[in-house]
Structure 1
Amino acid sequence: MLQWIRSLTFIVLATVYMPLLGLLYAPWAMFSRRGAYAACKAYAAGTMWMAKVIVGLRCEVRGDVPDGAVLVAAKHQSFLDILMIFHILPRAKFIMKREILMTPVIGQYAKRMQMVAVNRGKRGAAISKMLADVKAGEAEPGQLVIYSQGTRVAPGLSVPYKAGTAALYEQMNQPCVPVATNAGYFWPRRGLYRRPGVAVVEFLTPIAPGLERAAFMKRLEETVETRSDALLAEAGFKAPQPR
């Protein structure tokens, strides 16, 4: 019961914190992209601090964090892994669904930081638009983050990796850094309960450019899924047994 109370307290405070911080930074963010980044990094840092203090959920980043122009292909289980990745990368640019741009506060700041928005459900058109935006320079040099499964995936579930990651890998001709996580075990996709423990985001060995598409996708999926499963097991998650 106590952990439920802590979880609900954290959710309320984190929810209120977002618009307050958005308003506080708005004058700077309106005239400077640097201000928009500062606001969002402050939100990520503050929310992770509250998670640690209120619910006992500590965030840990492992591996070599890239600071140059690379493609980051991440496992997505929770809003928490977004916060952790955004906070640690110097200049993260996320591939995101267009509906997010309509979200209060988040949408305005995403536009200001020139995140790459795509139409969900229209995969071919979405990939073409994504490639055009990157090629045209709408996304400034930095770390381009894509969630290869296209959505949050709860621990223990299997969702295919989508072709957009391979298309970006081929066009950008840059290293691709896989990222594993167990964040969904502590901060689930649905529900209000926040579990205490150590949520991990781990940057894995980069995949050099030049692989054939099928070989790249196979290596990416095996690398991310294997390491994410290991992190989940480390956290105490037990996958449901098939009947």
Structure 2
Amino acid sequence: MNLLQWVRSILFSTQATIMLPVIGLLYAPWAMVSKRGAYAGCRAYARWVIWTAKWMINLRCEVRGTVPTIEALVAAKHQSFLDILMIYNALPASKFIMKSQLRYAPFLGQYVTKMQFVFVDRGKRGAAITKMLADVKAGLRDPGQLVIYPQGTRSAPGTKMPYKVGTAVLYEQLGQPCYPVATNAGVFWPRRGLYRRPGVAVVEFLEPIASGLGRNEFVAELEKRIETASDALLEETGVAHQYSNN
């Protein structure tokens, strides 16, 4: 870590924090009356962060693979706030499953509520999934790509965490293809701390898993694809040895 990159990281993080309410207020009149406005506001913020990261901290964001445009389940590796922004910006009509505490976050909570994202209480995931499926069947949610983090939380690069059954339940009951997504974003934008490493952060949309597999077979295939691809992306960074003890 060098001093100049530390200074750049602090400046970048400060402006990104400030711009959240600024963009939130700018888009608020449109977002209050239209779901399209809420989506546009969130996309504007994601693009702002991605753009400023490129020239402020020399961090370029790259999306690989075929991004789904059809109704599909998207099961993504989650390492960083950055991978959320990159996936959201890449998908044409995303709907995220997210922890219920974010419902009360300033600006963000109001926006994602307007967009009908799915909030999950810790320990009550089954009830949330049941409600979400009922809403989908009742036509209360617009078609799009439903994004879930199968490990349930952020994990550091190189860390192995169990894949939870909720993703398999959604896959089974929705009857849609599932697009696994790998990432190395946590190398450059870690879960904690202000330092941002320069380089190329990648989210990679992998070949979809067709509908019809059994739960256990699906989970095993999903984990194999995501972990293999994420490990390969970690190797690309040239600092994989720093995470070998995770």
Shorter-chain TM-score range: over 0.9
Q: Give secondary structure in 2 for the equivalent of 1:238.
A: helix
In the other structure, the counterpart of 1:103 is 105
Residue 212 of structure 1 is matched in structure 2 by 214
- Aligned with 2:63 (options 61, 64, 73): 61
Give the superposition deviation at 1:171.
0.7
Render the CA deviation track for 1:7-65: whole Å, top value 9, x for unaligned: 00000000000000000000011111111111100000000111111000000000001
Contact 1:187 / 1:195 at 8 angstroms: preserved in 2? yes
Structure 1 residue 107: Cα displacement: 0.3
Q: State which drifts further: 124-133 or 174-183.
A: 124-133
Q: How far apart in 2 are the matches of 1:169 and 1:15?
A: 35
Alignment-derived partner of residue 241 in structure 2: 238
Determine if the alignment matches structure 1 residue 83 to structure 2 residue 93.
no
- The answer to whether the Cα contact below 8 Å between 1:71 and 1:175 also exists between their aligned partners in 2 is yes
Partner Cα distance (2:107, 2:67) in 1: 27
Match of 2:116 in 1: 114
Of 173, 180, 183, 2:182 maps to 180
Once the two structures are superposed, residues 171-193 of structure 1 have per-residue CA deviations (whole angstroms, 9 ceiling, x without a partner) of 11010000000000000011110
What's the secondary structure of 1:62's corresponding residue? strand
Judge which range, 10-19 or 122-131, deviates more.
122-131
Decide whether aligned partners of structure 1 residues 181 and 241 sit closer, same or farther in structure 2, where only a CA change above 3 A counts.
closer
Letter paired with 1:95: I
The verdict on how the C-alpha distance between 1:240 and 1:60 changes in structure 2, with shifts beyond 3 A counting, is closer
Q: Given that residues 74 and 178 in structure 1 are in contact (C-alpha distance below 8 angstroms), is that contact kept between their aligned partners in structure 2?
A: yes
Q: Give the TM-score normalised by structure 1.
A: 0.96
Identity of aligned residues (%): 65
- The worse-fitting range, judged by mean Cα deviation, of 134-143 and 158-167 is 134-143
**1:157 Cα deviation after fit:** 1.4
Residue matched to 2:76: 74
Distance 2:72 2:128 in 1: 20
Residue 86 to residue 97, structure 1, CA distance change in 2 (3 Å): same
Report the Cα offset of residue 138 of structure 1: 3.6
Task: Tell me, yes or no, if the aligned pair for 2:158 and 2:244 is still in contact at 8 Å.
Answer: no
* 3-state secondary structure, aligned to 1:210: coil
Q: Which one-letter code corresponds to 2:150 in the other structure?
A: S
- Map 1:31-70 to 2 at 5 A: 31-70=33-72
Gaps of 5+ in 1: none
Deviation at 1:241, TM superposition (A): 4.4
* Correspondence 1:131 to 2:136: no
- Between the two proteins, the alignment pairs up a number of residues equal to 243
Alignment of 1:8-23 (within 5 A): 8-23=10-25
Contact 2:157 2:243 (C-alpha < 8 Å) held by counterparts: no
